[in-house]
Amino acid sequence: MKINAIHIEGFGIFHDYKYDNFSPNLNLIIGDNEAGKTTFLTFIRYILFGFPTGRESLNPYPPLKGGKHGGRIRISDRDNLNYVIERFADYRKNVTITFPDGSKGDESDLARLLGHASRDLFFTLFAFSLNDLEQFETLNKSEIQSRIYSMGTGVSSLLELQKKLKKKAEDIFKKSGKKPYINRYFDELGEIQQKIQEIKQRAESYDQLKKEKEDLFDKIKRLKEEKQEKESALFNINNLLRAWEDWTELINAEKELSNLAEIPEFPPDGIHRLNRVVDKENDIISQIEELETSIKEKKKEIDSIAIDIKLINHEIMINELVRGRDKFISAFDDIFVIKEKLEDAKKELKSDIKELGVEWDENKIKTLDTSISRRDEVQKFNDGFQDINQLLTDVENRLSEKNSQLTLLKEEEAKARVNLDAFADIKEIKREDFVKKKKAIKILRVTLPDYQRLRSEFSHIEERIKDLESQLSAKQREPLSFYKLPFWPIFVFVIFMGISGYLFFRGEKFTGSLIFLFFLFLNFGYLFFRNKIVAKINITRNRLIQEIKEIKNLLKDEKEKREKVKSQIERYEALTNQHANILGIENPILAVVEEEADTLEKTAEMLSKKERFLEEYKRIIEKRRLLEKEYEKTKEFKEDIEKKKKSIEEDWKNWLNKHQFPSTITPITVLDIFSRVAAIREKMEKISDLGLRVNQMERTIKEFKEKLNKLLFSLGRDIPLDREISITVDLLSKELAEAKSALQKKNDIESQVKREEIKLKQLNLNLEKIRSEKKVLLDEGNAIDVDEFYLKARIFEKRKNFIEDIKLHKKQIQKIAGIGEAYDNFISQLEKSDPQKLNNEKEKIENRIKEIDLSLEELMKTDGEYKAKIDDLEKREEISKMRLEENRLIEKIKEEAKKWAVYTIALRILEKAKQRYEKERQPAVIKQSQLFFKEITLGNYKQIFSPLEGNYIEVIGKNDERKMITQLSRGTAEQLYLALRFGLIREFSEHSGVNLPIIMDDIFVNFDNHRLKAAISTIKELSDTHQILFFTCHPEISNLIRSSIKETEVISLS
């Protein structure tokens, strides 16, 4: 890519600066300080890659001398096709590319033209100043870095990979350390192997254990035998001791038996039987004696009992008297009391009748009709009087209440009147008008702001139209046609060509043809030149026409808009005025409308208040009218009641006359008389009852006395006094009872005596029988009497007991010793031994057994332990488990070791590959740069070296000395950077296929003369492929360049 022409419309100090004579190779741009070299350089940078965004805040080079901020560059590509790149700072920073055919392109087309170089890349590699050169960091940007090491491995990641591998290996194994896996596994393995060793040692004790166990078994066997022996001896001794008591008893019993007399036979149970017979005999004798005494006594008693038979014969009569006695006594006692009561009652009756009045006697009382129906009649009159009086009182109360209510209402009415009068002068307003006004206000509130807005919009549109019209006239004033070269010179040239032809034919062949050819050439040249200008003019004119067209379009739009707004304004105006009229407002402003709305609101409020008061007043008047009506009604009602009362009083007087009562008494008095008459009638009945009772009593007394006297006479007893009658009857009754019980007793005793005499006879028979039994028993016992019988019986019993004892003891001993020969042996042993000796021996044996038991226990325990140990060893699976575990760990170690090996090998290979790469295979960029550097330093440095992982570069001098950049002189360092840039530029071109122009801003300042020359020759070399714009203010540098490179295009900015 080459820059052909440049047109700066406005940029820094440049204004409408044009240059179109760039060389495709080297351009030397000379200018003093502040001539605008850097501005020029920056302009190219900005046009190609855009103006800086605000964020970058670089110097935007505003157009100091006017003109639009920006401009255009014409470039040509590899195929010599031209493109115009245009960019302005304020035009959204968009680029415009005009293709050779006139079509337009955008940023992506530009990127393609620029070989996709980034802004950074271009700024650092292709357009740099001395300042950039000195800053090595500008070369460090990642993109450039990656280009240097285009082999594709990030340097930093290689380092990281190395670290990672190292760490991985160390995680697995470290010669000294506890944590790494292998180290840990080895620790575990050590433990397991230790355990295995222990188990093996334990296993070796197996045989020893078995032998010891056998010895132990023998010992135990011997001891067990001895124990058995001792135990049988102990058993024998224990038997002897156990039998000893029986043995002594046996001997004693035999001795005693031999001392007793022999009685071969005796009645079994003799003593007992004799005792029973004797006891029975004595018992019967005492019973007989007892019975005989009893019979004697009873007979005596019978003789002593006396009985009054007469009384018993009159038993029925006596009983009758006893039954009637109580009745007689009560009649006898009460008769006087009742007679007195009768007298009192008669007196009372008389006085009661007197109380009723002189006209009343017993007869009148008896005939007075006091039936319930009559009483009801009186009661009804009474109730009638009471009801009517009550009604009358109620009505009077109501009347007085109504009266007071009326007075209150009158006061209220007066108050309401006053309230109403206060609103007397409030003006009425029509409801219809009110609604209309309200609506008008509502509409005005909406329309007025819109109307206002429309009007201001209208004035805006007007302004814009004016603006556009002035723009249009300005554009139209611009010349549409440029100066065109005239056509007539062609004719002149043709004429000259004709003249030359004439000369030719005239014989001036050389001159003629020379002139002809000259004019022919002139003719074509002129035509070519003219056509070119015409094309250029056409482009500019077309653009102008386009712009005018656009402005006209805009103007048309705006005018249409204006019409639309205007018609809207008119519509709003009519609407507003109409509603303002309704309100009676001349100047329809929102504030006035609001004021009117306020007034309207207040009037409406007052009117509604007045209406409320009027309603209140009307309500009171109505209430009063109703009340007065009610009062009149009540009064009429009262008069009715009074009439009714009079008619009832008339009826009552008639009733009194009819029933012969005095005409002045009230119904209550009549009711009182009725109840008194009833009481008197009751008393009269009581008096007649009392008279009947007195007669009855007198009769009873008389009958009783007659009966009694008759009885006493037949008994031959005296007649008693009246007051002794009762005692006499009691006495009679008592005597009768006594006589009757004596008779009963005598009969009882006689029958008892009879029974006892029978029993006595039986007892005497029993006595005979028992005595003969006793005789037989004594004979059996061979005894003369009872005493002898007893003696013999006792001896016989003793003998029997001894024989039993002997048998028992023998059996006991046999139980222990056995029978037959064993028994005899045992007895002979018993005969020889004594308990003391036996016990001593027993103790000895027992102690020995205890001893044996203790050692046996001890030995068994040991045996058990041996057995457990042996069993344990026999059953142990530990060794298998441990060995399995051991193998597992070994396997793990092997596995981890292999991993470790892989990491370790990988690390080694990585390091080696890196070394080799650094040494043998520097990147192409470095190689390229190296050539440039060698050339510029005139062979003083032969190699540039950039380690893979480093952010640094070293150089190697001609004598193999290595130097860091910091060790280089300023000039040499700058030469190195320049060489590196050239190398990178070459590399970029190769990869992108685009040779971008190189713009350098006075970068040779620090170069000495020799190296300057060398550098210039590298530039010459580069300029074969790349267009170079070299800026300088140093005449010696520019002179040197000009003299070294003849075809340099020199551009002066001054």
Partner 1 sequence: MLKFIHTADLHLGSPFSGIKEFNERLASALFEATFLAFNKIIDLCIFHHVDFLLIAGDIYDSEDRNIRAQLKFRDALSRLSEKGIYTYIVHGNHDPLNGWSATLKWPKHVYIFSDPNLNVEKIPYIKNGQKLAHIHGISFPQKNITENLAKRFKREKGAPFSIGLLHCNIGTNTGHEPYAQSSIEDLIKSGMDYWALGHIHKPQILKENPTIIYPGNPQGRDLGESGERGCYLIEVDNSLRIKPQFIPVDRIRWIHRDIDITKIDEEDELINLIRNESNLPYLDDELSYIIRIKLLGRSPLYKQFLNYPDMFDAIQEEINQEFQGLPFIWIERIENEVKPPIDISSRIKAQDFIGDLLRLIEEYKKNPSNLEELRSLLAPLFSNYSKARSILEDEVEDKEILAMLDKAEAYLIDALIEEV
Which residues contact partner 1 (rule: CB under 8 A)? Answer: 151-154, 157-158, 161, 164, 173, 175, 182, 186, 189-190, 199-200, 203-204, 206-207, 210, 873-877, 879-881, 883-884, 886-888, 890-895, 897-898, 900-906, 908-910, 912-914, 916-917, 921, 948
The residue (of 119 and 202) whose beta carbon lies closer to partner 1 is 202
Q: Position of tokens 């046999």? A: 814
Minimum separation from the CB atom of position 189 to partner 1 (A): 8
DSSP string, 923-964: -HHHHHHHHHHHHHTTTSEEEEE--TT-S--EEEETTS-EEE
Pairing of strands 998-1001, 1028-1032: parallel
3-class SS of residue 577: helix
d(CA 750, CA 297) in angstroms, rounded, equals 12
Minimum separation from the CB atom of position 895 to partner 1 (A): 6
In our burial notation (b when 16+ CB lie closer than 10 A, e otherwise), range 180-205 reads: bbbbbbeeebeebeebbeeeeeeeee
The residue (of 376 and 871) whose beta carbon lies closer to partner 1 is 871
The residue (of 450 and 949) whose beta carbon lies closer to partner 1 is 949
Minimum separation from the CB atom of position 1032 to partner 1 (A): 41
**Those residues with Cβ within 8 angstroms of residue 921's Cβ, 6 or more apart along the chain or in another chain:** 151
Minimum separation from the CB atom of position 861 to partner 1 (A): 23
Minimum separation from the CB atom of position 906 to partner 1 (A): 4
Give kind and range of the element (H or E) at residue 29.
strand 26-30
Minimum separation from the CB atom of position 92 to partner 1 (A): 38
Minimum separation from the CB atom of position 952 to partner 1 (A): 19
The residue (of 78 and 921) whose beta carbon lies closer to partner 1 is 921
The residue (of 391 and 910) whose beta carbon lies closer to partner 1 is 910
The residue (of 514 and 910) whose beta carbon lies closer to partner 1 is 910
Strands, sheet with 954-957, edge to edge from the N-terminal-most edge strand: 941-945, 954-957, 962-964
d(CA 461, CA 560) in angstroms, rounded, equals 10
The residue (of 104 and 908) whose beta carbon lies closer to partner 1 is 908
Strands, sheet with 2-11, edge to edge from the N-terminal-most edge strand: 14-19, 2-11, 70-76, 82-88, 95-98, 104-105
SS3 letters across 47-115? HHHCCCCHHHCCCCCCCCCCCCCEEEEEEECCCCCEEEEEEECCCCCCEEEECCCCCEECHHHHHHHCC
Give kind and range of the element (H or E) at residue 212.
helix 206-259
3-class SS of residue 438: helix
The phi and psi torsions of 943 (rounded to 5 degrees) equal -150, 140
The residue (of 840 and 887) whose beta carbon lies closer to partner 1 is 887
Give kind and range of the element (H or E) at residue 632.
helix 590-658
The residue (of 664 and 880) whose beta carbon lies closer to partner 1 is 880
**Those residues with Cβ within 8 angstroms of residue 137's Cβ, 6 or more apart along the chain or in another chain:** none
Q: Position of tokens 């008759």? A: 710
d(CA 259, CA 261) in angstroms, rounded, equals 7
Give kind and range of the element (H or E) at residue 4.
strand 2-11
**Those residues with Cβ within 8 angstroms of residue 364's Cβ, 6 or more apart along the chain or in another chain:** none
Give kind and range of the element (H or E) at residue 643.
helix 590-658
Minimum separation from the CB atom of position 183 to partner 1 (A): 9
Geometric angle at alpha carbon 799, from 797 and 800, rounded to 5°: 65
d(CA 108, CA 105) in angstroms, rounded, equals 8
Which amino acid makes up residue 1052?
A: S
Minimum separation from the CB atom of position 222 to partner 1 (A): 24
The residue (of 205 and 657) whose beta carbon lies closer to partner 1 is 205
The residue (of 146 and 568) whose beta carbon lies closer to partner 1 is 146
Minimum separation from the CB atom of position 912 to partner 1 (A): 6
Query: Is-contact 40 1031, C-beta < 8 A?
Result: yes
The residue (of 796 and 903) whose beta carbon lies closer to partner 1 is 903
Minimum separation from the CB atom of position 177 to partner 1 (A): 12
Pairing of strands 127-129, 998-1001: parallel
Minimum separation from the CB atom of position 1051 to partner 1 (A): 44
The candidate with the shortest Cα–Cα distance to 999, out of 1026, 1029, 1019, 1043, is 1029
The residue (of 285 and 890) whose beta carbon lies closer to partner 1 is 890
Which amino acid makes up residue 35?
A: A
* CA of residue 333 relative to chain centroid, distance: 105
* CA of residue 663 relative to chain centroid, distance: 101
What's 995's DSSP letter?
-
Strands, sheet with 26-30, edge to edge from the N-terminal-most edge strand: 127-129, 998-1001, 1028-1032, 26-30, 1049-1052
The residue (of 181 and 613) whose beta carbon lies closer to partner 1 is 181
Minimum separation from the CB atom of position 866 to partner 1 (A): 14
The residue (of 150 and 992) whose beta carbon lies closer to partner 1 is 150
* CA of residue 682 relative to chain centroid, distance: 96
Minimum separation from the CB atom of position 111 to partner 1 (A): 24
Minimum separation from the CB atom of position 880 to partner 1 (A): 4
Minimum separation from the CB atom of position 203 to partner 1 (A): 4
Q: Position of tokens 């990869």? A: 991
The residue (of 544 and 906) whose beta carbon lies closer to partner 1 is 906
The residue (of 420 and 873) whose beta carbon lies closer to partner 1 is 873
Minimum separation from the CB atom of position 200 to partner 1 (A): 4
Minimum separation from the CB atom of position 930 to partner 1 (A): 18
The residue (of 776 and 901) whose beta carbon lies closer to partner 1 is 901
